Amino acid sequence: MSGPRNVRSRDGTPIAYDVAGDGPALILVGGAFSYRRYKSSLQLVELLAPRFTVVNYDRRGRGDSGDVATYAVEREIEDLAALVETTGGAADVFGMSSGGVLALRAAAAGVPFRRAVVYQPPFTVDADGHLPPADFGERLDELVASGDRGATVGYFMREGMGAPRVLVGALRLARPIWRNLEAVSHTLPYDYAVMNGTVYGEPLATEPWASIATPTLVVDGGKSPASLRHAADALAMRLPSATRLTIPGQSHNLSMKMLAPVLQDYLLDRR
C-alpha cells in the first residue's frame, strides 16, 4: 500500500488517502466512527486490491485529513470530487451506512461515479425504527463543544443509533476500541448533517434520490432490524437505476469477507 497521499479539496482542506491494488478505481466512504485505518476498512482494502485500485480516505476532520471551523455537507461532496479527480476523472464508490448516503448525495450533485454500492443507509422511514430525540442535533453539538468525547460517543450510540446501554457499557470497557471511537467523536455531527432529517420516521422524499443517474446497488443484511430493510427498500424504489440485494446472516457490522464478493460481482459487471 502506498501513502498516505493528500489531495486539496476545493476549499483548500487536505484530504488524506491511501491507494492500493490494480484495476478500476473504487473509492471507499466510511460512515460514523470510520476512518481509513479502521480495522474493517483495511481488511476490505486487502480483499479488493487484487481486482481494484482502491482509494481509502479519511473523511474531513478524521485521521490525517484537515478540517475547517464551519462544517457543510457540500464540502464533503467536494472532497469526493477531488478524490475522483485523482483517479483520472471517474470511479466506482462504496459507501457504508451514512457514508453511503454521502456518496449518493455526491452523485446527485454531479460527482462522476460510474457505479455505486451502499450498505444499509440508516434512514428511518417509518415508526418501527429507532427515532432520535427531537433535540438530538443540538444536544450532540453541545457535547462536542464540551470536549467530553466519551459522553459524545455514548450519546450518539444510544440516542442516535439506538444501541442498548449494555452494549455501550461493554465498549467503554474495551479501551482500545473506545479510544478509537472517541478520536473521531467531534465529527459525529457531520454524519447527522449528512442524514438531513431522514431519521425521524417520515417517508423518504423523492429527491435528491430520483435525480441520481448512477447505477446503484442497495444492500442490507438479513439479520438487521426490519427498519433498516424498509430504509433500503425505500431508497431502491426512488433511485432510477437501482438493484436491491440482501446478504444473508449479516447485520450492520457485516463480514468484509461477505461484502467483498458482492462489490466485485456488481462493479466488475460492465454490461
The reply to whether 144 and 235 lie within a common domain is no
Q: Please list the alpha-helical segments (H only) found in the chain.
A: 39-48, 73-86, 98-108, 136-146, 149-155, 165-173, 175-183, 188-195, 226-238, 256-267
The reply to whether 90 and 169 lie within a common domain is no
pLDDT tens digits, one per residue of 69-119: 999 999 999 999 999 999 999 999 999 999 999 999 999 999 999 999 999
pLDDT at residue 30, rounded to an integer: 97
The reply to whether 148 and 175 lie within a common domain is yes
Of 194, 224, 243, the position where a domain reaches its end is 194
Of 194, 221, 237, the position where a domain reaches its end is 194
Residues with Cβ within 8 Å of residue 146, at least 6 apart in sequence: 152
- Cβ 244 vs Cβ 233: under 8 Å: yes
The reply to whether 180 and 208 lie within a common domain is no
The reply to whether 21 and 111 lie within a common domain is yes
Residue 152: inside a domain, yes or no? yes
The reply to whether 187 and 239 lie within a common domain is no
Neighbours of 261 (CB within 10 A): 11
- Arithmetic mean of pLDDT, 2-29: 93
Neighbours of 71 (CB within 10 A): 15
Residue 209: inside a domain, yes or no? yes
The reply to whether 147 and 216 lie within a common domain is no
The reply to whether 184 and 208 lie within a common domain is no
Residue 62: inside a domain, yes or no? yes
Residue 129: inside a domain, yes or no? no
Three cell numbers, residue 136: 438530538
Measured CA angle at 60 (ends 58, 64), to 5 deg: 50
Residue 241: inside a domain, yes or no? yes
Confidence of residue 175 (pLDDT cuts 50, 70, 90): confident
pLDDT at residue 128, rounded to an integer: 82
Which of these, 61, 47, 48, 81, lies nearest to 16 by C-alpha position? Answer: 61
Residue 186: inside a domain, yes or no? yes
The reply to whether 42 and 156 lie within a common domain is no
Indicate the number of domains in the chain: 2
The reply to whether 184 and 245 lie within a common domain is no
Residue 81: inside a domain, yes or no? yes
pLDDT tens digits, one per residue of 106-146: 999 999 999 999 999 999 999 888 999 999 999 999 999 99
Confidence of residue 270 (pLDDT cuts 50, 70, 90): low
Task: Cell 491511501: give the residue.
Answer: 18
Q: Which residues are paired to 118 by β-bridges? A: 95, 218
pTM (2 d.p.): 0.96
The reply to whether 144 and 115 lie within a common domain is no
Residue 14 lies in domain: 2-122+203-267
The reply to whether 11 and 88 lie within a common domain is yes
Residue 59: inside a domain, yes or no? yes
The CATH number of the domain where 25 resides is what? 3.40.50.1820
Three cell numbers, residue 158: 444510544
